[in-house]
């Protein structure tokens, strides 16, 4: 297990997650802002590739499981951004993708907060970024809920979005520094709750 929250477990992939992984990556609603869809074979290959990346680097997108019924609901992770030269090679992004039926419950934000804690408090990252197609309001809403800030000077055209999908190229970038994370944690400890 990578992290645990009140309602969720963030863990490594298991073979029996393939149904969910395929469902997510082939659902038009979930994939609205991506230029690809995966069939079951491609989904299996991608899930294996994700496992290898996690094994090799410790970074990547992990399965998110709901504790109440042990149901995998999607994925979230800290990953090497892999959009050089738009971002430096060592940039770390936070990202999320949930099956459609689990949207609207706060699960993505809950998983992401735990990942920010892992990134800053355990791995000592100086900055975590997130980026999304500019029209992807649900994803940028997660970034805002987390307290990440827009950084329009670093918005970019995604280098791996093909010219056949010009509307998916422009990405907005949000970021959080380790200092901002610390301030957010300090502010969460409200005055007057010390018990005195």
Kindly list the residues in this chain that would bind ligand COA in the complex (CB under 6 A): 30, 33, 95-98, 103-109, 132, 136, 138-139, 142, 145
Question: What is the CA 54 to chain-centroid distance, rounded?
Answer: 14
**What is the closest distance, in whole angstroms, from the C-beta atom of residue 130 to ligand COA in the complex?**
7
Q: Which two tokens stand for residue 53?
A: 């990346």
Q: Which CB, 59 or 124, lies closer to ligand COA?
A: 59
- Residue 74 CB, shortest distance to ligand COA, in Å, is 6
| For ligand COA, the closer CB: 55 or 101 | 101
Q: Give me the least distance between CB of 124 and ligand COA, in Å please.
A: 25
**Shortest-Cβ-distance residue relative to ligand COA:** 106
Closer residue to ligand COA in complex, CB, 6/195: 6
Rounded least distance, CB 194 to ligand COA, Å: 27
Q: Are the C-beta atoms of 111 and 76 separated by less than 8 Å? A: yes
Cα–Cα distance measured from residue 146 to residue 164, given in angstroms and rounded to the nearest whole number:
33
77 neighbors 94 (Cβ within 8 angstroms): yes
Nearer to ligand COA, 136 or 175 (CB): 136
* Non-local CB neighbours of 95 within 8 Å, separated by 6+ positions: 61, 76, 77, 79, 130
Strand partners, 76: 62, 96
């Amino acid at each position: 297990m990578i992290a645990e929250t009140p309602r969720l477990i963030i863990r490594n992939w298991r073979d029996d997650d393939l149904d969910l992984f395929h469902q997510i990556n082939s659902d038009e609603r979930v994939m609205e802002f991506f230029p690809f869809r995966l069939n079951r074979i491609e989904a299996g290959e991608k899930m294996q590739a994700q496992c290898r990346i996690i094994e090799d680097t410790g970074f990547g997108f992990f399965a998110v499981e709901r504790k109440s019924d042990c149901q995998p609901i999607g994925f979230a992770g800290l990953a090497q951004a892999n959009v050089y030269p738009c971002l430096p090679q060592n940039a770390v992004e936070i990202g999320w993708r949930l099956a459609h039926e689990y949207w609207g419950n706060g699960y993505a934000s809950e998983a992401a907060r735990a990942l920010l804690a892992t990134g800053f408090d355990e791995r000592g990252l100086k900055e975590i970024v997130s980026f999304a197609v500019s029209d992807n309001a649900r994803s940028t809403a997660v970034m805002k809920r987390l307290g990440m800030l827009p950084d329009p000077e670093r918005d970019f055209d995604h280098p791996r979005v093909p010219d056949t999908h010009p509307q998916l190229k422009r990405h907005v970038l949000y970021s959080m520094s380790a200092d901002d994370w610390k301030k957010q944690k300090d502010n969460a400890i409200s005055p007057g709750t010390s018990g005195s």
